[in-house]
Copies of this chain bind each other. A is one copy, B any other.
Amino acid sequence: MSAHSDLTRNQSLVLDRLEKADAPMSAYAILDQLRDDGLRAPLQVYRALEKLLDMGLAHRLESMNAFVACAQPHCHDSGLIAFAICEKCGQVSEFSDDVVRERLNGWADREGFVVKRTTMEIRGECRACAA
Name A residues whose Cβ lies closer than 8 Å to a Cβ of B: 62-63, 82, 84, 86-87, 93, 95, 97, 99-100, 103-104, 107-108, 111-127, 130
Contact = CB atoms under 8 A, between A and B. Distances in A.
Contact of A107 (B97, B117, B126): B97
B62 A121 contact: yes
A108 B121 contact: no
B84 A108 contact: yes
26 contacts: A62-B119, A63-B119, A82-B104, A82-B107, A84-B108, A86-B113, A87-B116, A93-B111, A93-B113, A97-B104, A100-B100, A100-B103, A104-B122, A108-B122, A108-B124, A112-B127, A113-B122, A113-B124, A113-B126, A113-B127, A113-B130, A114-B125, A115-B123, A117-B123, A118-B121, A119-B119
